[in-house]
């Protein structure tokens, strides 16, 4: 399967929710990282993302990621992720160790965001309201994704910019995200028309 070389320069809309989940409920993490926890609860992020034409590769994405640390360094480990692009699936796995699988998506952005992803079972459906209200703030973001690749820990930088604002999000999860089904997000933000650079991986 052909896929673009890194880095990937992407653009689109994203809807991100933050959760506090018991550490004991988390999926396995790569060796060498530990979850960042608050009173025994890990910080987890979920997102629906619509990568638009004009970026390197347009596709849809659903993911769950855990905020982790490697020593004093803080980053993200993506534990579960689905896309509707075979090229994105192959590139994510081979370039960065991101465990992408394929799913079908139905997304709508107006007047509220609604998103559903299914791989035969509904993985998640989400609604994000309040997109036209609230203060929009610029967000320059730099971070690191930490994944297992070839028996070692791969460190891939990410850089994003755009605007975000607070929103109201509700989620229902199942299938590969059933480990989240007993919990609810405490914060949701919408990032419209963001730009993202993913990679290159640090070797």
Token pair 């994704």 is at which residue?
Answer: 145
Which of 35-39, 128-132, 175-179 is predicted least confidently?
128-132
Burial 23-52 (b: 16+ CB within 10 A, else e): eeebeebbeebebbbeeebbbbbbbbbbbe
Confidence check: pLDDT of 74 > 70:
yes
Which residues does residue 73 pair with via DSSP β-bridges, in sequence order? 70
Local confidence band at 49 (pLDDT 50, 70, 90 cut-offs): very high
pTM given for the model = 0.95
Confidence check: pLDDT of 203 > 80:
no
> Rounded distance, CA 16 to CA 126, Å?
10
> Rounded distance, CA 168 to CA 133, Å?
11
- Mean pLDDT on 155-168: 93
What's the mean pLDDT when you consider all of the chain? Answer: 94
Under 8 Å between Cβ of 35 and 68: yes
3-state secondary structure of 1: coil
pLDDT tens for 185-200 read 999 999 989 999 999 9
């Amino acid at each position: 399967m052909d896929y673009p070389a890194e880095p990937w320069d992407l653009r689109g809309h994203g809807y991100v929710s933050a959760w506090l989940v018991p550490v004991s409920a988390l999926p396995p993490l790569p060796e060498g990282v530990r979850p960042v926890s608050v009173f025994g609860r890990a910080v987890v992020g979920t997102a629906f993302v619509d990568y638009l034409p004009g970026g390197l590769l347009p596709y849809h994405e659903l993911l769950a990621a855990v905020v982790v640390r490697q020593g004093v360094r803080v980053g993200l480990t993506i534990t579960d992720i689905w896309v509707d692009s075979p090229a994105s699936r192959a590139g994510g796995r081979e370039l960065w160790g991101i465990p992408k699988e394929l799913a079908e998506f139905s997304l709508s952005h107006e007047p509220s965001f609604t998103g559903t992803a299914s791989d035969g079972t509904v993985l998640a459906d989400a609604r994000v309201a309040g997109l036209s209200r609230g203060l929009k703030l610029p967000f320059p973001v730099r971070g690191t994704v930490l994944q297992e690749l070839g028996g070692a820990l791969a460190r891939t930088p990410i850089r994003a910019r755009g605007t975000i604002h607070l929103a109201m999000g509700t989620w229902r999860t199942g299938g590969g995200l059933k480990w989240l089904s007993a919990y609810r997000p405490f914060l949701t933000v919408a990032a419209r028309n963001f730009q993202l650079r993913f990679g290159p991986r640090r070797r």
